Amino acid sequence: MQNYNNKYIGDWKHAILLENSSIQDAIVNLDKIAIQIVLVCNKDKTLLGTISDGDIRRGLLKGLTLNSPIKAIMNKNPLVVSKNILRDSVLELMSLNRIRQVPVVDENNKLIGLHLFDYLLEPKDRKNTMVIMAGGRGKRLHPFTNERPKPMLEIAGKPILEHIIQHAKSEGFKSFIISINYLGHILEDYFGDGKKFNIKINYIREDIPLGTAGSLSLLPSAPNLPFIVTNGDVITDIKYGELLDFHNRHDASATMAVRAHEYQNPFGIVQTDGLDIVGFEEKPITRSHINAGVYVLNPQVLELLELGEHCDMPGLFERLQTLKKRTVAYPMHEPWLDVGSHHDLEIAKKNIKAEIKYKKEISK
C-alpha cells in the first residue's frame, strides 16, 4: 500500500475545486498550486473529473469564457488508480499514457491521493538499516588483498563497498552498519562515520570471523525495523527498496534474494535401470536458484543468534524453518556479480566502465 503523507499532500488537496467553479478559478488554481492538474470533486470528495492546461486552452478556443463552468472542459473519464497499485506499476501506466499525474481513489471513487510522476521517480526515504558484511579475507584475490580488504578493491576509481553504498543511498537508505575484521581499519579510515557521503555509518568489529550471520550477534541493539544484510563483495543493480517491500508484503521473518542459475552438463547422460540402458539425454541443462548474498531480516531473528557464535546465513534460515517461521525467496533478475576471484574482478571493472560510458552518452 502506498503512503500518501508525502511532500505533495498539501498541494494536491489545494488542487481540488468544486464542480460549480469557473474556468477562471481553474486557471488561478493551476498557477498557484503548480502541479499541472485540477481535481474536480463534489462536496463528498467524489472525483468527477480532472482539468489540465490543455483542457482550458481547448475550451477557450471553442468559445467558452473565463466565467464558464469547469464542467464544460473537464475530463470526465480520467485515468485513476487504487491505493493498492504498486509504484512501478503506476510509473509504467503513466509512461504508457504519457501523463504526469494520476488521481488515487477508493472503491467509492472518493479522492484519497495523487501520484505525481516526478515524485515517483524520487527515492523514497528508507528508515531501515543496511548491514554490510565486509570482514572477509578475500584469499582468492591475493595479492590484491594482501594489504587491503576485498571490499576496498577499486573498480572505476572507487572501492567495491562505495559502489554498494552509493546504490543503496540512491534508493533512500541512509543508515548503514558495516561489519569489519580483516584490515578493517583501512575501511573505517576511508568511510568514517559517513558524513562525507551524507549518510550515517556505524561499525561492528569481529575479533574472529563469525560467518555471514554470526557477526549480527555483535549488534549493540536490534534495529526497530526489518533490515537488509548484504555481502560486501556483491555488486548488483538489485532494487533494495523493492526487496524490502516484497519482504513486508509476504509477511516473512527472513527473505533471501536468489538468482536463476543454469548449468549444462558437458557430457551426454546415459539413463539406466540396473544394467539396462533405458534412455539418453544429450548434455542436459540443470536449472536452480542460487543464494545472491542479499537478505532482509526481521529484528526478532537476532534472538536466534548467540553472542560471538559462528553462523552462516543459510544456517540461520534453517533455524527459522525449524521454528516454522516463514522464509521466502526473492527472485532477482538484475545484473549481479559476486567478486570472489581475479576473473570476477576484471568482469566487474568492465561492467562498471561500460555503465559509466552509457550514462555519459545518454546524458549528452
Where is mean pLDDT largest: 190-199, 256-265, 334-343, 344-353? 190-199
| Cα distances (Å, whole numbers) of residue 34 to 10, 12, 30, 57, 178 | 12, 10, 6, 17, 43
pLDDT of res. 341: 58
pLDDT in tens, 265-317: 888 989 989 988 888 999 888 877 889 999 999 999 999 999 989 999 999 99
Residue 178 has pLDDT above 80, yes or no: yes
The answer to whether the beta carbons of residues 336 and 290 sit under 8 Å apart is no
Assign 79 to helix, strand or coil: coil
Confidence of residue 85 (pLDDT cuts 50, 70, 90): confident
CA–CA distance, 319 with 257 (Å, rounded to integer) = 18
Please state the pTM of the whole predicted model.
Answer: 0.64
Task: Give percent of the chain with pLDDT exceeding 70.
Answer: 88
pLDDT of res. 90: 84
**Residue in the block written with cell 536468489:** 258
pLDDT in tens, 5-37: 344 444 688 899 999 999 999 999 988 887 889
pLDDT in tens, 216-261: 999 999 999 999 999 988 888 888 998 999 999 999 999 999 987 7
**Residue in the block written with cell 554498494:** 164
Which CATH number does 9-121 carry? 3.10.580.10
In the chain, what are the domain boundaries? Answer: 9-121, 126-362
**Cell of residue 159, nine digits:** 572501492
From the DSSP assignment, how many helices (H) and strands (E) are in the chain? Answer: 11, 18
CA–CA distance, 268 with 207 (Å, rounded to integer) = 49
DSSP β-bridge partners for residue 117 = none
Backbone φ, ψ for residue 215 (5° rounding)? -70, -15
- Calculate the average pLDDT of the chain: 86
pLDDT of res. 9: 40
Common-topology check for domains 9-121 and 126-362 = no
CA–CA distance, 171 with 87 (Å, rounded to integer) = 13
pLDDT of res. 338: 66
Cis peptide before 149 (omega within 30 of 0): no
Which of 225, 231, 199, 206 has its CA nearest to residue 131? 231
Residue 351 has pLDDT above 70, yes or no: no
pLDDT of res. 361: 47
More confident residue, 92 or 202: 202
Instruction: Give the number of other CB atoms < 10 A from CB of residue 91.
Output: 15
pLDDT of res. 121: 74
- Tell whether domain 126-362 is in CATH 3.20.20.70: no
